[in-house]
Amino acid sequence: MADVYLWAGAKRLIEDESPLNISGKTVGELLQNLVVKYPNLKNIVREGVSCSVDDKLVFNSSTETVFENSEVYIFERISGG
Amino acid sequence: MAFDNVSAKSFKVVGTRPERPDGIEKVTGQARFGADAYLPGMLHGAILRSPHAHAKILSIDISALENDKSVKAVVTRNDFECNLTGEDWNILENIMAGEKALYDGHAIAAVACSSLLEAKDALKKIIVQYEILPHVTDVEEAMKENAPVIREGSARSSVPKGMHPNIVGYHESGHGDVEAGFKEADLILEENFRTEAAHQGYIEPHACLATMMPDGKGEVWCCTQGHFNVAKVCAKLLGSDASQIRVTASEIGGGFGGKTAVFIEPVALALSKKATHPVKIVMSRNEIFRATGPTSSTSMHVKIGMKKNGKITAAEGTFKLQGGAFPGSPMAESAMCAFAPYELDNVRSVGWDVMCNRPKQAAYRAPGSPMAAFAVESIIDEFCKRLKLDPIEVRLINAVTEGSKSSYGPKFQRIGLVETLEAAKSHPHYAAPIERGVGRGISCGFWFNFGGETCVSLALSEDGTASLSVGTPDIGGSRASMSQIVSEELNIPYEKVRATVADTATLGYNEISHGSRVTFATGLATIKAAQDMKKKLCLRAAKVWGLDEEAVYWEEGYVKPAGPNAGDHEPLSIADIAKTMGRTGGPIVGHYEASPEGAGVSFATHIVDAKVDKETGFTSIERYTVIQDAGKAIHPSYVEGQFQGGAAQGIGWALNEEYIYDKKGILQNAGFLDYRIPVASDLPKIDTEIIEVPNPGHPYGVRGVGETSICPPLAAIANAVSSSAGIRMKQLPMSPPKILEAMDDNNG
Amino acid sequence: MKKVHVSTTINGTLKEFLCDTRETLLDALRDHMLLTGTKEGCGTGDCGSCSVIFDGDVICSCLTLAAEAEGRNIETIEGMAEGGELHVLQKKFLEHAALQCGICTPGILMASKALLKKNNNPSEEEARFWLAGNLCRCTGYDKIINAVLDAAREIREESDGV
């Protein structure tokens, strides 16, 4: 199970306190499992999120590997100029 | 042979300054930009635009054009797809109005004629009936309860219930206990800041030449930062397939984020489809200002608590950004970048995305970050002045390093903020005496940088030279740096590499040239493609020699037999293998396609000396120094160019550039005469220092460099103005009338 | 509408074209002569991308009517390199990396050529003020000014050597 931290704006939508324990071998799986456990996050995830896995920024890739004890921060999808 | 982990520790070509491969075309006038394409039978398109800030479109009467022989096609919203949702709908609504005109300059209809003069005449004959609606162009006004509603139902799910429909996005990030942190502070400062919208101001107008036949097959030539995205968007808006619309990226005359968006290509295709002729559209400068995206204007509040020794105890910020008549302002970026340079135990950042009757904002170099830095770094400077602390020392005390928890969540990997601050401290500029009347300002800045979908192809020619095809338009000299990388990897001369930006039919999808991603991601892909080619060269040599793959190795541009076979065969050069490749197994091509992550974030520190003329309120920039972490500079001249260009744009934004709307919501300065970008005589020499703290996510250590350079200037100049004139400017631009007003307030 | 017949010398060659009376010299150069090296950045004389040399003076071709070209002598970027040899300004722009996107480059080269013809030893300030009518959004002008001053130095050395 990875430790998942949501940005504060998203945290308001669920009752649990961070970190959330979510399983998943990839970012994609983890996000799927997150939404299954917390249906309130469905729209926010659908609208686009980026994350960091063990301090590496992952803006788009859903296949990025997540490990058993990974620390995953999720934040809103951001983009550049 | 494991090529994956090979990284060139000492470089031969990377880090040198060869002449750019597209240089001669550009100094002789031969380079073909967006407006430089012509086709047989080509028509000229022109677009009718709303003269109102907010109006219901009651009717569009084109009957006067029906018998006009010069008019070959007319299109309105009805000529585009009608079942779009989400961002596709937003783009369509922005490039051709539906039920309402949402801002001054919003496209209403378009025509195609044999000449541009005829097309402009034809536009005058279109009669549009409008019902003028109340409008709003100010971000604070647009959030008020009684503000005119731009559109219902646009809010993202993150927005708390019960907010005004113009509020379409909410972001909150941070950690710790901000209130407790403020209690620990010796001094707390808080302030409101405003910045106006600034336009990217690329000198080349948006331009395209498009052909679409009745069967839905299209060809587009255009200046864009992302031609694959143009194909995708055009297909969506016209009900075609992305693969049926082949887009070729012309040379691009500046973008800075503004050419990541699509405006005229779908219109030209729709006109062409109706006229069955190619249609060219070139925007006028007036249209560019009114209808393409400037960056957001902002209203911000920042509160910081500090100990007497300079340690920050808590920081809090609210960043309200209007993004025009559509969702999507970079408010989350503002909120996330605002405090990123500092290691904070207690931090909270809030962003609001707000719609106004203005053009849809487009990305502009580190979108969201410069404004936030203006607010935060201005307050830090105020602390330094009040607590009599050195501005670099205070930033060093609080600076993030490897392992620091960022204000937006994760810990930083290896970063170079402290290195830029140390370099600033020991820079001759910082030690130089300050002349009377001159103020010196310091600011840091932060930007993320990006990776994204990338695909390159590297083909070996029979003479041993190499052709590299990339899918990211070259906006700042990337063909030079990509050629250097191929030269480095393959040990062939730089001049023997030809890098081309391939069209959308030639390569797989490439993400837009944005987010400072090209040298990082396309560079990474080019390294991998060259390594793939080396592997194939080894295989080929092994095959020719009748050896196993493991029995050969690559060294310095040659394939050599290894171990017991050493000496049995003469080493084969790339040229040797290339010469016979048709008979030994066919063409040799290196590939790479992936969505690389791991773009390293980057920091900069700027030093500026500015002098305020107290009679006129005019601020002159006397000296400017940019210090930024590039990770690894592939072509230092173009890295310096990015540093200098970002600083110059920041100077314009800080001192002059602004969108001025009148009471009716009409843009008052839609031209370079009244929207004044810096000219050569406005600027001093802009000194640069490249710091190289390698990015662990890239084989050469490359970080993006294009955007971070625009983050510090706004605050650095405001801080210099404060030192020079004794006034704290809380509003941009710091144009002479605003400086005079602030000095009056100060004296009164 | 009747068109106007214009005879004019462009880069040393006599050219003829027909134009609408409202047409600018910039549009005539680009659309009739296909000399697309001269660029349009604003169409209102503010950016200098369309700079050409007109009877020896730098002008904005977007503010000049095509019909005004009758009997004149016009130099454009396409005439700058001669006999397969780049002009010293062109060489210096490449050497100093004085262009990023390159859209303003033809106009800046034409304006710089006119400057160095009038004054082959400009100060940095003189060069900056001379080029103040030519906007560049990419470079911050630093490398452009370096290239122009270096070209001036080389021109002086060449003329001293004769």
pLDDT at B9: 62
What kind of fold does domain C4-79 have according to CATH?
Ubiquitin-like (UB roll) (3.10.20)
Kindly state the tokens that stand for B511.
């993400």
Rg (Cα) of chain C, in Å, rounded? 16
Residue B63 CB coordination number (10 Å): 9
- Provide mean pLDDT across the span B474-493: 96
Nearest-by-CA chain C residue for B251: C101
> Residue B170's Cα: distance from chain center in Å?
23
pLDDT at B401: 98
Q: Which residues in chain C are contacts of B649 at CB distance < 8 A?
A: 137
The helix (run of H) or strand (run of E) holding residue B419 is helix B417-425
Is pLDDT larger for residue C162 or for residue B180?
B180
Question: Number of C-alpha atoms within 13 angstroms, CB side, residue B81?
Answer: 19
Q: Which residues in chain A are contacts of B256 at CB distance < 8 A?
A: 81
The helix (run of H) or strand (run of E) holding residue C156 is helix C142-161
Kindly state the tokens that stand for B122.
């034809």
Residue C23 reports pLDDT greater than 50: yes
Comparing C-alpha atoms, which of C8, C6, C11, C7 is closest to residue C110?
A: C11
Question: Number of C-alpha atoms within 13 angstroms, CB side, residue B242?
Answer: 13
Task: Check B336 against A78: CB less than 8 A apart.
Answer: yes
- Provide mean pLDDT across the span C39-64: 98
Task: Check B27 against C125: CB less than 8 A apart.
Answer: no
pLDDT at B565: 80
Q: What count of residues does chain C have? A: 162
Task: Check B26 against C102: CB less than 8 A apart.
Answer: yes
> Residue B476's Cα: distance from chain center in Å?
11
Residue B8 reports pLDDT greater than 50: no
- Provide mean pLDDT across the span C33-44: 97
pLDDT band at A79 (very low <50, low <70, confident <90, very high): confident
Three-state SS string over B580-596 comes to CHHHHCCCCEEEEEECC
Structural contact between residues B729 and B444, judged by C-beta atoms closer than 8 angstroms: no
pLDDT at B370: 98
Kindly state the tokens that stand for B684.
């001093």
Nearest-by-CA chain B residue for C129: B681
Task: Check B251 against C134: CB less than 8 A apart.
Answer: no
Residue A60 reports pLDDT greater than 90: no
pLDDT at B552: 95
**Considering chain B, what is the average pLDDT of its residues?**
96
Residue C162 reports pLDDT greater than 80: no
Task: Check C86 against B27: CB less than 8 A apart.
Answer: yes
Angle between helices C105-118 and C142-161 (to 10 degrees): 40
Nearest-by-CA chain B residue for C39: B204
Q: Which numeric CATH code is attached to B23-31+451-594?
A: 3.30.365.10
Task: Check A59 against B158: CB less than 8 A apart.
Answer: no
- What ipTM was reported for this prediction? 0.98
pLDDT at A59: 85
Residues β-bridged to residue B57: B130
**Tens digits of per-residue pLDDT, B535-592?**
999 999 999 999 998 999 999 999 999 988 878 899 999 999 999 999 999 999 999 9
- Provide mean pLDDT across the span B341-367: 98
**Tens digits of per-residue pLDDT, B169-178?**
999 999 999 9
pLDDT band at B692 (very low <50, low <70, confident <90, very high): very high
Kindly state the tokens that stand for B430.
């910082």
Nearest-by-CA chain A residue for B704: A80
The helix (run of H) or strand (run of E) holding residue B467 is strand B466-470
Q: What are phi and psi of B725, to 5 degrees?
A: -115, -5
Task: Check B366 against A58: CB less than 8 A apart.
Answer: no
A23: amino acid identity, one letter: S
Provide the 3-class DSSP secondary structure of residue B324: coil
CA distances from C17 to A47, B234, B622, C32, C63 (A): 56, 37, 49, 7, 19
Task: Check B256 against A64: CB less than 8 A apart.
Answer: no
Structural contact between residues B460 and B641, judged by C-beta atoms closer than 8 angstroms: no
Structural contact between residues B232 and B511, judged by C-beta atoms closer than 8 angstroms: no
Residue B450 reports pLDDT greater than 60: yes
User: What would the DSSP string read from start to end of B125-182?
Assistant: T-EEEEEE------HHHHHSTTSPPS-TT---TTSPTT--TTEEEEEEEEES-HHHHH
Q: Which residues in chain A are contacts of B409 at CB distance < 8 A?
A: 5, 7, 52, 73, 75
- Provide mean pLDDT across the span B219-233: 98
Task: Check B595 against A12: CB less than 8 A apart.
Answer: no
For a pLDDT cut of 90, what percent of chain B falls above it?
94
- Every domain of chain A and the residues it spans: 2-76
Neighbouring chains to A with at least 3 Cβ pairs closer than 8 Å: B
**Tens digits of per-residue pLDDT, B600-656?**
999 999 999 999 999 999 999 999 999 999 999 999 999 999 999 999 999 999 999
Task: Considering only the beta carbons, identify the residue of A10, A55, A80 that sits closest to B516.
Answer: A80
Pinpoint the residues of chain B covered by CATH 3.30.365.10: 23-31+451-594, 416-445+600-747
Pinpoint the residues of chain C covered by CATH 3.10.20.30: 4-79
Residue B27 reports pLDDT greater than 50: yes
Nearest-by-CA chain A residue for B293: A81
Burial of A19 (0-12, 13-18, 19+ CB in 10 A): middle
Best residue in C113, C138, C139 for a mutation probing chain B (most B CBs within 10 Å): C138
Task: Check A79 against B697: CB less than 8 A apart.
Answer: no
Best residue in B597, B602, B649, B709 for a mutation probing chain A (most A CBs within 10 Å): B597
**Tens digits of per-residue pLDDT, C120-160?**
999 999 999 999 999 999 999 999 999 999 999 999 998 88
Task: Check B171 against A56: CB less than 8 A apart.
Answer: no
Q: Which residues in chain B are contacts of A43 at CB distance < 8 A?
A: 156-157
Structural contact between residues B633 and B708, judged by C-beta atoms closer than 8 angstroms: no
Kindly state the tokens that stand for B692.
């190289």
What kind of fold does domain B34-131+200-291 have according to CATH?
Aldehyde Oxidoreductase; domain 3 (3.90.1170)
Structural contact between residues B442 and B722, judged by C-beta atoms closer than 8 angstroms: no
Return the residue matching tokens 């003479």.
B463
Residue B593 CB coordination number (10 Å): 17
pLDDT at C161: 72
Structural contact between residues C47 and C39, judged by C-beta atoms closer than 8 angstroms: no
Give the span between the Cα atoms of B523 and B527, in whole angstroms: 6
User: What would the DSSP string read from start to end of C16-75?
Assistant: EEEE-TT-BHHHIIIIIT--TTS--S-SSSSS-TTEEEETTEEEETTSSBGGGGTT-EEE
Which residues 56-75 of chain C have a CB within 8 Å of chain B?
none
B107-113/B167-175 β-pairing: unpaired
Provide the 3-class DSSP secondary structure of residue B636: helix
Task: Check B172 against A64: CB less than 8 A apart.
Answer: no
Best residue in B16, B17, B26, B290 for a mutation probing chain C (most C CBs within 10 Å): B26
Nearest-by-CA chain B residue for C141: B680
Q: What count of residues does chain A have? A: 81
Angle subtended at Cα B645 by Cα B644 and Cα B651, rounded to the nearest 5 degrees: 90
Residues β-bridged to residue B191: B302
Q: Which numeric CATH code is attached to B416-445+600-747?
A: 3.30.365.10
pLDDT at A11: 85
Is pLDDT larger for residue B568 or for residue B486?
B486
DSSP class of residue B674?
T
How far apart are the CA of A21 and the nearest CA of chain B, in angstroms?
16
Structural contact between residues B276 and B378, judged by C-beta atoms closer than 8 angstroms: no
The number of C-beta contacts closer than 8 angstroms across B and C is 186
Kindly state the tokens that stand for C17.
């074209």
Give the span between the Cα atoms of A63 and A61, in whole angstroms: 5
Residue B49 reports pLDDT greater than 60: yes
DSSP class of residue B284?
-
How far apart are the CA of A56 and the nearest CA of chain B, in angstroms?
6
Pinpoint the residues of chain C covered by CATH 1.10.150.120: 88-161
B6: amino acid identity, one letter: V
pLDDT band at C1 (very low <50, low <70, confident <90, very high): low
What kind of fold does domain A2-76 have according to CATH?
Ubiquitin-like (UB roll) (3.10.20)
What kind of fold does domain C88-161 have according to CATH?
DNA polymerase; domain 1 (1.10.150)
Q: Which residues in chain B are contacts of C77 at CB distance < 8 A?
A: 28-29
